[in-house]
Structure 1
Amino acid sequence: MNPLKAPRARSFGHDVFASVVVFLVALPLSMGIAIASGVPIEKAAAVGLATAIIGGLVVGPLSGSPLQVSGPAAGLTVMVAAFIQKYGFETLGIIVAIGGLIQVLAGVCRLGPVFRAVSPALIQGMLAGIGVLIFASQFHVMVDDVPPGTGKEFGGVINLWLLPGAIVKGVAEPEHRPAALIGLLAVSIVASWAVLAPKALRLVPAALLGVVAATLAAWAFDLDVRRVPVPERLLDAARPPSLADLDALRDVGVWLAGLSLAFVASAESLLTATAADSLQRHAERTAYSRELVAQGIGNILCGVMNVLPLTGVIVRTSANVMAGARTRLSAFLHGAWILLFVLLLPQLLTMIPIAALAAILVYTGAKLVKLDFAKDLWRQDRIEALVFGVTFAGVVGFDLLTGILLGLVVSLARLIYTFSHLAVTVEKNEASGAAHVFLDGAATFIRLPRFAAALERIPAGYDAHIHLRGLTYIDHACLTMLMDWGENHEAAGGRVHLDRDILHRLFEQKAWRSANAT
């Protein structure tokens, strides 16, 4: 037996098994995300599943992250819903295609690693805000009601504020009670499965179990609940934008929407790819620029078909890794299974209660709010906690783009402060004729006058001890000034003591930064 074929055969078996697990995870989530994104209800199932198919069949083989799985993502629901509300569903494909084109250009220009240079606090604040908005809107859907904030200014806050009313409807009103019971059944199964499931069965997707149980309960008791509408030919709901739709390209807002989509989708995809690298030891590490190109190609195709945008999705990716995937084949096959299901068994989808899919997203939204992360951040770095809080508040109170921009402003202000803040303390001892200068922060040309003034306060003839331990950075201007002052001070009869090791380390860091910036 050829020894080279055995590992391939074993990888194939692992990949096939993992692809089935991911297929079962992706099926309910793709439809639920489409409904939550504001896609017209009669097209939601087709649009969500078409994006998942593209994520598997197209992005899977091209991906720079071998085990990452792409498809419609909960993290984009709020943004997509805002686009549909403002520009109409017919324009969504144009926005998605613009975002994909920007991603391809960014990947070709090797900007993949740049998208990773986003504060984790900002990303987690964004996801937490999205999670609250998904929870608030889908809770109303879970009782077969329309979210009251739909189409209104501050709609997310309205949905959140009126949650008690949804609870009352689900408990007290007969027309809403069956859906509420179905939703409660689904979310209970999903929430308890990870804890109560036998170890051998934990790879069975909780979301699928919740939806199947809710569907069977609705059928067995003949409950009057809204179900997923499905067209006769499922993929006919995905169509290219018409020539009339292309007039939207004249709107600057559409281009800005595509740019914001590219930024958020890229950041989410590359962060997911980084998480995938930390979870697996079998495949090569992520090629970030290649991953950007793959995501961009996928989104261009999604735009042409006028379906949801795609990103790398952490739920599906982690399921893929945990199920034992070894190569890109698993992501490709999961898309193939979805396509076969759509072609052969589409009418099964008409049995699924919408409340069950909403319940899955209620749970997903709650899981996006990582309170432990926020608590740890508050203990470790108050400024980063502020970035988290401002981003979260902006996303919930205004919209996704505003929240991201506010978070970036706080992050930028923190960066400017870090690279411009320099505390200089001078302690003189006249009895011993010694002076100690303590530096804390970044010595840049912006603070050179303060640095120079502090050194000039040291009398001639003193022993000057320059303490660099608290210094994080020193630029050429400040170093030149320090060296010139030191020569003049020693020429006047004094002595200068510098920690050369620390100075050498600072310049090694500076050289490393320069090398990695090119």
Structure 2
Amino acid sequence: MFKTIKNDLPASIVVFFVALPLCLGIALASGAPLFSGLIAGIIGGIVVGGLSGSKIGVSGPAAGLAAIVLTAIGTLGGYENFLVAVVLGGLIQLLFGFLKAGIIGYYFPSSVIKGMLTGIGIIIILKQIPHFFGYDAEPEGADSFFSSSSENTFSTILNITDNITVGSMIVGFIALAILILWDKVLTKKAKIFQLIQGPLVAVVVGIIFFSLTQSNDTLAIAGTHLVSVPVPEDTSSFLAQFSFPNFSVIFNPDVWIVAFTIALVASLETLLCVEATDRLDPHKNVTPTNRELLAQGTGNILSGLIGGLPITQVIVRSSANIQSGGVSKLSAIIHGILLLISVILIPRLLNMIPLSVLAAILLIVGYKLAKPKLFKQMYDLGWKQSIPFTVTVLGIVFIDLLWGIGLGLAVGIVVILLKSYQNSHFLHIEDKSNGKHKIKMTLAEEVTFFNKGAILKELDSLPKDTHLELNLLKTRYLDNDIIEILEDFAFKARERNIDIKLVSKRGVVENPTSFIQFFNERPKSSLSLN
């Protein structure tokens, strides 16, 4: 693992600077102590990163759970009671892993996965634009575009012009220029620019800018526009930031409901992120999903025990890791260690980083996830790919992550049903011979109740005085619903002077009186014709 440290160390620094404000912002958006987000980020990096089978996935507190956490803290009567649900949720995730539920992630279409990545990229960009200009009305990491409060993502963007902080905006543009120059030019010029990453340089420049402009009324950056890490005065005040679960409420049914909700949502979000990061991985590693659930469950148990937020694998950090050249899990582990060291040793230095600099870093991450050429690629693949993709993107941007994925999956299922409806059979019509139409209907390899409508329509539209050859030689699976349709058609055929020739692996029959009798005289929910 340490052979790849030359790639993983620079990547871990980038992930650290991406994760730090997100940990704090998600805690703020969740109504939890700020330190709880840092705890989750540290455990997500060191513990989950070490146990996971993913080489490039990075875990930590997730914005997708912020609304659930915010509601649950109030419902359960306090943060210590909520931590019991986090611990139980981790235990349920362990059970999911042992039951091998990780396979669920493979049943999501690639169009939905790509839509998820693109939607998250758009959200990152839109949410960082206000921070980039020094307008920090909405907490970093908040996930709702529409809210009952006075500010939401759209209103915040519209209000930028009246709330620009000149110093934040200038250093934001400087940081963005450094990142683009580093990525497009300097890294191709010399190896030194590959070892020293652009985001690190941008952060250092941001700290220097803040220090030099404090006395300038125009360019000075106020504390509200800087990173805000809790600063302990001594060991006892540092330890006082940890919270511990109140296990006396473990028999409260509401605690178990919240625990199951956390386990289900966190597992689903993790599995989707695993699928997405594996697709982004240039080395095409495949993450063992059941092991990932076990790692996430262990992380959530530990996080809950010491006061941390629920943990999932997070696509923003994972994609930043990939784009920064991370190769092995060492990058995720080091990023967790950096979080731990920073909150212990240099919290005051971290609190000198302008949020606009971190916004510039995330703008680049968001753009790489939602490149315009991807929209053209999906359009060129046809409506069967572009519609689920578009619905997923819009659902994520305008509602939230899980709604967007759910809507995209629903549309993907409808597309499958439509294609199944269309491809249930092949119909070949010959010219009239001896006064009768010759029609050959070949059924597909698998024919289920989804195909009832298409087959029934074709059979009902057959004209009188027709010779129908019904070919089942390629059919391996025939649903009982289809057998019943054929049974009813056999009766109607006699009234319409339609001859039926049934061709299957069980033999050839002219004008069968009963299809059910032909198939062993026993109705089934389905029939294998192998």
1:28 to 17, 22, 25: 17
- Name the structure 1 match of 2:356: 355
Deviations 1:433-489 (A, max 9, x none): 7534366796324545864785795999969595999x9x85365699799822799
Distance 1:452 1:391, change over 3 A: closer
Contact 1:156/1:396 (<8 A) preserved: no
Partners of 1:40 and 1:451 lie apart in 2 by 53
Sequence identity, in percent?
25
Instruction: Indicate the SS of the match to 1:145.
Output: coil
Distance 1:251 1:323, change over 3 A: closer
- Name the structure 2 match of 1:289: 290
2:210 to 205, 218, 222: 218
Instruction: Indicate the SS of the match to 1:198.
Output: helix
Deviations 1:111-157 (A, max 9, x none): 21222221233333344444444433333333443436989637799
- Name the structure 2 match of 1:83: 69
Partners of 1:41 and 1:453 lie apart in 2 by 54
CA shift for structure 1 position 411: 3.0
Amino acid at match of 1:389: T
- 1:485 is the counterpart of 2:502: yes
- 1:121 is the counterpart of 2:111: yes
Instruction: Indicate the SS of the match to 2:231.
Output: coil
- Equivalent positions of 1:313-462 (< 5 A) are 313=314, 328-329=329-330, 331-421=332-422, 422=424, 425-431=427-433, 434-437=438-441, 443-447=447-451, 451=455, 454=458, 457=462
Distance 1:463 1:258, change over 3 A: closer
- Name the structure 2 match of 1:500: none
1:72 to 60, 72, 83: 60
Amino acid at match of 1:29: V
Q: TM-score normalized by structure 2?
A: 0.72
Distance 1:115 1:158, change over 3 A: same
CA shift for structure 1 position 291: 1.8
Distance 1:293 1:37, change over 3 A: same
CA shift for structure 1 position 379: 2.6
Partners of 1:238 and 1:50 lie apart in 2 by 9
1:254 to 258, 261, 279: 258
Contact 1:92/1:307 (<8 A) preserved: no
Partners of 1:339 and 1:358 lie apart in 2 by 22
2:99 to 82, 86, 109: 109
Partners of 1:377 and 1:19 lie apart in 2 by 32
Distance 1:249 1:402, change over 3 A: farther
Distance 1:468 1:288, change over 3 A: same
- Name the structure 1 match of 2:520: none
Aligned pairs, how many? 473
Cα-Cα RMSD:
4.6
Amino acid at match of 2:306: M
Distance 1:62 1:96, change over 3 A: same
- 1:140 is the counterpart of 2:142: no
- Name the structure 2 match of 1:231: 231
2:201 to 196, 199, 209: 209
Partners of 1:79 and 1:436 lie apart in 2 by 56
Distance 1:331 1:178, change over 3 A: closer
Distance 1:43 1:139, change over 3 A: farther
CA shift for structure 1 position 274: 2.4
Q: Which has the larger radius of gyration?
A: 2
Partners of 2:248 and 2:508 lie apart in 1 by 78
Contact 1:390/1:407 (<8 A) preserved: yes
Distance 1:213 1:99, change over 3 A: farther
CA shift for structure 1 position 21: 2.0
Deviations 1:145-172 (A, max 9, x none): 34369896377994224424203432xx
Distance 1:208 1:80, change over 3 A: farther
- 1:178 is the counterpart of 2:167: yes
Q: 5+ residue gaps in structure 1?
A: 1-10, 171-175, 494-509
- 1:271 is the counterpart of 2:261: no
Amino acid at match of 2:269: A
Task: Answer 1 or 2: which has greater helix percent.
Answer: 1
Contact 1:142/1:183 (<8 A) preserved: yes
Instruction: Indicate the SS of the match to 2:439.
Output: strand
Deviations 1:483-515 (A, max 9, x none): 98227996559xxxxxxxxxxxxxxxx99xx9x
Contact 2:102/2:271 (<8 A) preserved: no
Instruction: Indicate the SS of the match to 2:28.
Output: coil
Q: Which moved more, 1:116-125 or 1:483-492?
A: 483-492
Distance 1:209 1:440, change over 3 A: farther
Contact 2:45/2:59 (<8 A) preserved: yes
- Equivalent positions of 1:32-43 (< 5 A) are 32-37=21-26, 39=28
Deviations 1:356-408 (A, max 9, x none): 23343344344443443333223324244332333333333333343333333
Partners of 2:282 and 2:367 lie apart in 1 by 24
Amino acid at match of 2:204: V
- Name the structure 2 match of 1:497: none
